[in-house]
Chains A and B, each alone.
Chain A
Amino acid sequence: MNLSGISPEVLIAALMVASTPILLAAIGELVVEKAGVLNLGVEGMMIFGAICGFAVAVETGSPALGFLGAAAGAAALSMLFGVLTQFLLSNQVATGLALTLFGLGLSALVGQGYVGVTPPAMAKLDLGPLGDIPFFGRVLFGHDAMVYLSLALVAAVWMFLNRSRAGLILRAVGESHDAAHALGYRVVAIRLGAIAFGGACAGLGGAYLSLIRVPQWTEGMTAGAGWIALAIVVFASWRPWRVLLGAYLFGGVTVLQLNLQAAGLAVPVEYLSMSPYVVTILVLVVMSSGRGRAALNAPASLGRVFHATT
């Protein structure tokens, strides 16, 4: 295939930007699922974060405050899910789906006054001479702060889960909440913390869409990104670095096929678009067998209701 029509640096730079929303949402959901909670409301939290961030940024004129507002708003929304599933012991799948519907509706309501408004622009980080390096300048040093933050977040989550005591406890809660409870860990509190973190990350991802990538507010603008984030967590078999790989693969395929078309190359767009989903389905198939599930490192208590009897 002749790829000469596309500049690889432009492509990689575009891919990183396109992938950041789903990366942020997916890394948050990874922590939630590692704590044994399946929150299918990512899409709802993302879109709510998108409008919260947009509204705060427009009102204050500061994109940074916007991102904080997005994280806070979406975390607050996720607490609704937290209270319902952790205290009232509702079904996590149904509650998560309801959260998505609720988030979509609520964001449309909140966003009514913000249609057609242009948000304040987020300054690109000026890294001085680093940005002038050929190729790497544009790929590595030409982005806004959120792209780097998302990468730092992946590293931080990896460190937390694999190299810290608190991370070990969180994983223990996700593997066997009864055992963790017997050891004296506060399962519900830990899970609530994880759900809030997941909400905040989803909110940041949504705000990245509305403040930087698109930048505008449109109802339903996440258009399914939250569901892709959920798929990426499974695709990554609950490992942070694979989440990064998965997000860049999903985002990359989308950008790549658009760029290939724009460059006038005849490509089988359908197969390219399909590939990440096919991999996800394969992972789910492997997971459905007991041994495969263990090998894929799925949290053993994922989606199970915890009720402390003693």
Chain B
Amino acid sequence: MKRRTVLGGMAAAAAGTLATPLRAAGDPLKVGFVYVGPIGDLGWTHEHDQGRLAVEAHYGDKVETFYQENVPEGADAERVLTQMCLSGAGLIFTTSFGYMDATLNVARKFPNVKFEHATGYKTAPNVATYSARFYEGRAVIGTIAGRMTKTNKVGYIASYPIPEVIRGINSAYIHARKVNPDVEFVVVWVYTWFDPAKEGDAAQALIDQGCDVVMQHTDSTAPQAVAKEAGNVMTFGQASDMSAYAPWPRVTSIIDNWAPYYIRRVGEVMDGTWQPAQTWEGIAEGMVKIGPMSERLPAEVRAEAEALIEAMRKKEYHPFTGPLNKQDGSPWLAEGEVADDGTLLGMNFYVEGLKGSIPS
């Protein structure tokens, strides 16, 4: 076959899908997933893919899922999304903050396709957002870190200076300081979600600076491997259980559990009740889970962490409860006051006590 005929055929096929982007009754619902890393990252993307598999298992022949890994945040995402829409997707999950504008742009062009954007804050008639209250998990690991650190220096590998990440730093710090007033946080911004070598280097730099606890807001297990090598450094599984590194250095983990949400939303698209919403669920709803605690943690530390989890599960405790001041000393929350979601979603400041500044 000549190249020209191949191209011609492709163009014809594309035109065909353009004309009929909607599914006929009885056809399976096509659900697309856009991933920022590889599904084998054992972290963030891995858990989203577990959710996708749960959707397949739950609905069987009634759905058809497909995904694209390693999609860069930016213009490339728009191309991938357009491609998914053209190939007949009825619902698309875009699973990283940086896909926000791409999602909205493509959603405008394909009003009949539903979009679900993870961790973002912009919605449209066919764009919903969803996220988990990871900061509840951060409160738990912050408490453990505050109790366990001997050098009083906790390292934090941060990805991008966005509200999601800043919230995590604040929550972990507030709770570490609550149990250990001398604790200090060292934050390193790596400007990537997934780059094992760079994440490992960042962990090493933090350990070289005397941190004996390393927290990460990146997706690979490289910091865990580096901490294991160092020996006396403690880590926490991020997004996924990362149990390959248990019982040490990984002492517990914050697990994202997307499956129930994905199943619910796919079902709503199928029966036509889907509405754009801003879903934000935490430990109480089961979207955030805390992994098994390592035997290497003293029993009283484990008990304290469990009590905190239980309080959040019953919604008796909110990690951002006053009195809290901002980093510059100006008051933020009064005694007993709880932060509202709007402030949390747009959080762009450190709380009092954290050193350094947020890069702009």
**Interface, chain A (partner B; CB < 8 A):** 5, 7, 10, 14, 18, 21, 108, 111-112, 115-118, 209, 213-216, 218-225, 254-255, 258-259, 261-264, 266, 269, 273
Which of the residues A108, A218, A263 comes within 8 Å of B220, measured between beta carbons? Answer: A218
How far is it, in angstroms, between the C-alpha of A225 and the C-alpha of B192 when the chains are bound? 14
Say whether B196 contacts A223, CB under 8 Å. yes
Residues of chain B with a CB closer than 8 A to A112's CB: 40
Say whether B222 contacts A218, CB under 8 Å. yes
Stretch of B199-207, B265-273, B316-324 with 4 or more beta carbons under 8 angstroms from chain A: B199-207
How far is it, in angstroms, between the C-alpha of A215 and the C-alpha of B225 when the chains are bound? 6
How far is it, in angstroms, between the C-alpha of A223 and the C-alpha of B218 when the chains are bound? 14
Residues of chain B with a CB closer than 8 A to A255's CB: 201, 205
How far is it, in angstroms, between the C-alpha of A181 and the C-alpha of B255 when the chains are bound? 62
B186-206 residues with Cβ-Cβ distance < 8 A to A are 186-192, 194-198, 200-202, 204-206
How far is it, in angstroms, between the C-alpha of A215 and the C-alpha of B39 when the chains are bound? 19
Say whether A259 contacts B38, CB under 8 Å. no
Say whether B225 contacts A214, CB under 8 Å. yes
How far is it, in angstroms, between the C-alpha of A223 and the C-alpha of B200 when the chains are bound? 13
Say whether A261 contacts B188, CB under 8 Å. yes
Separation in Å of the A228 CB from the closest CB of chain B? 11
Separation in Å of the B116 CB from the closest CB of chain A? 24
Chain B residue at minimal CB-CB distance from A263: B209
Residues of chain A with a CB closer than 8 A to B201's CB: 14, 18, 254-255, 258
Can you add 4 more A-B contacts, CB < 8 Å, to A218-B220, A262-B211? A213-B200, A220-B69, A258-B201, A262-B208
Separation in Å of the A284 CB from the closest CB of chain B? 22
Separation in Å of the A25 CB from the closest CB of chain B? 13
How far is it, in angstroms, between the C-alpha of A218 and the C-alpha of B41 when the chains are bound? 6
Which of the residues A10, A224, A264 comes within 8 Å of B355, measured between beta carbons? Answer: A264
- Asked if B330 is at the interface of the complex by the 8 Å CB criterion, the answer is no
Say whether A269 contacts B205, CB under 8 Å. no
Which of the residues A209, A215, A259, A266 comes within 8 Å of B208, measured between beta carbons? Answer: A259
- Contact pattern, B 256-284, Cβ under 8 Å of A = 1, otherwise 0: 00000000000000000000000000000
Residues of chain B with a CB closer than 8 A to A10's CB: 208
Contact residue range for chain B? 35 or more
| 9 A-B residue pairings within 8 Å (CB atoms) | A116-B221, A214-B226, A215-B229, A223-B198, A225-B197, A254-B198, A261-B189, A262-B211, A264-B355
How far is it, in angstroms, between the C-alpha of A221 and the C-alpha of B225 when the chains are bound? 13
- Asked if B356 is at the interface of the complex by the 8 Å CB criterion, the answer is yes
Say whether B205 contacts A14, CB under 8 Å. yes
Say whether B222 contacts A258, CB under 8 Å. no
Looking at B70, B211, B222, the one whose CB has the most chain A CB atoms below 10 A away is B222
Say whether A116 contacts B355, CB under 8 Å. no
How far is it, in angstroms, between the C-alpha of A220 and the C-alpha of B39 when the chains are bound? 10
Say whether B209 contacts A262, CB under 8 Å. yes
Separation in Å of the A259 CB from the closest CB of chain B? 5
- Asked if B359 is at the interface of the complex by the 8 Å CB criterion, the answer is yes
Say whether B356 contacts A21, CB under 8 Å. no
Residues of chain A with a CB closer than 8 A to B120's CB: none
Separation in Å of the A26 CB from the closest CB of chain B? 15
Residues of chain B with a CB closer than 8 A to A259's CB: 205, 208-209
Say whether A219 contacts B205, CB under 8 Å. no
B302-360 residues with Cβ-Cβ distance < 8 A to A are 355-357, 359
Say yes or no: A18-B197 contact (C-beta < 8 A), given A218-B42, A220-B38, A220-B70.
yes
Say yes or no: A209-B197 contact (C-beta < 8 A), given A111-B40, A215-B225, A218-B41.
yes
Say whether B205 contacts A214, CB under 8 Å. no
Say yes or no: A264-B42 contact (C-beta < 8 A), given A214-B196, A214-B222, A221-B197.
no
- Asked if B37 is at the interface of the complex by the 8 Å CB criterion, the answer is yes
Residues of chain B with a CB closer than 8 A to A115's CB: 40, 42
Chain B residue at minimal CB-CB distance from A255: B201
- Asked if B244 is at the interface of the complex by the 8 Å CB criterion, the answer is yes
